[in-house]
Amino acid sequence: MTGEGIRSLLFVPGDREDIILKALASAADAVIIDLEDAVAPDRKAAAREVARQVLDHAERGGKAVFVRLNAFDTGLTATDAAAVLGGRPWGVVLPKAHGPAEVARLSHMLDALEAREAVEAGTTRILTVATETAAATLSLASPTGEGQERLWGMLWGGEDLAAALGAMANRDEEGHYTFPYRFARSQCLYAANATGIAAVDAVYTDFRDPAGLEAEVRAALRDGFVAKAAIHPAQVEIINRVLTPDDGQLDWARRVVELLADRGVARLDGRMVDIAHKRIALRLLSRAAALEAAGSRRPA
């Protein structure tokens, strides 16, 4: 599994082995074993044990398996990381990160734990949930700092941010994010691209609304996100289908690359295409190749 082969990331509660195993058998490209919001305070220790048991013994089915740690302000981050790192998760998720300094802090922690557990140095990736506080959202204007070499991606989210802002809601009457949350989404997209990592779109919380989910995934694809988080297995098929380049997109990309092989501008289907279009085309083709390679490594 490489980072480019991930479209869908399915959250599952860390204290429910049955649900984790079902997620590992699903079509999700990545599974996030959640030790944070999905686990009650009195179940945190049990969730660590379950997560480690799964990491040690369960068949991962070619998936990238992340563990979402508790945030630094809980005092549980180090305990979580120490409990699971020997199970060699593909990565860890850092929630409620206030900025690059917390990414650096987690990276140093992982350095020590990898050495202790004989895990290859630097191989545990970090996915940061980058917009759960006002300070974090504003920090994305200057996203780089120490520890960035571990960063695989940035996920934005509007639910905790709404709570942090004291908002009554984060969507309007038509179900669209209001401006403060569109701003956070944009900050995440810009910061991820500025640092060369994956931009991951937020969860769509109404898992009984497939049409709404598909519209939101299509908007994410349109704007430049490469993956989307999910909270229910039923959401995975839609996310994977929409975020997989289709035949029409790939045909357009190949034609653009061919037309611009030795020139800077050309006409395609009555429209002008230039080097900017060629960059988009090359990214599409690279994405398709990575998804094909990842698919060949997953069981049928």
Query: What was the pLDDT predicted at 297?
Result: 54
Indicate which CATH number applies to the domain containing 120: 3.20.20.60
Residues 238 and 259 both lie in one domain: no
Q: Are 185 and 234 contained in the same domain?
A: yes
Average pLDDT, the chain: 93
**Secondary structure of the chain as H, E, C letters:** CCHHHCCEEEEEECCCHHHHHHHHCCCCCEEEEECCCCCCHHHHHHHHHHHHHHHHHCCCCCCEEEEECCCHHHCCHHHHHHHHHHHCCCEEEECCCCCHHHHHHHHHHHHHHHHHHCCCCCCCEEEEECCCCHHHHHHCCCCCCCCHHHEEEEECCCHHHHHHHCCCCCECCCCCECHHHHHHHHHHHHHHHHHCCEEEECCCCCCCCHHHHHHHHHHHHHHCCCEEEECCHHHHHHHHHHCCCCHHHHHHHHHHHHHCCCCCEEEECCEEEEHHHHHHHHHHHHHHHHHHHHHHCCCC
Total count of domains within the chain: 2
> Do residues 257 and 186 both lie within one domain?
no
Same-domain pairing of 157 and 269: no
Residue 243 predicted with pLDDT over 80: yes
- The pLDDT tens digits for 268-292 are 998 999 999 999 999 899 888 888 8
61: left (phi over 0), alpha (psi -120 to 50) or beta: left
**pLDDT band at 61, cuts 50/70/90?**
confident
Same domain, 154 and 295: no
Confidence band of 241 (pLDDT split at 50, 70, 90): very high
List Cα–Cα distances, 237 to 45, 108, 295, in angstroms: 33, 36, 14
Token pair of 81, please?
């990381």
Return the pLDDT at 292: 85
| Owning domain of residue 267 | 245-300
Based on the domain organization, do 221 and 266 belong to the same domain? no
pLDDT above 80 (res 3): no
pLDDT digits (tens, 9 = 90+) for 121-133: 999 999 999 999 9
Answer yes or no: is pLDDT of 41 > 90: yes
pTM of the model: 0.92
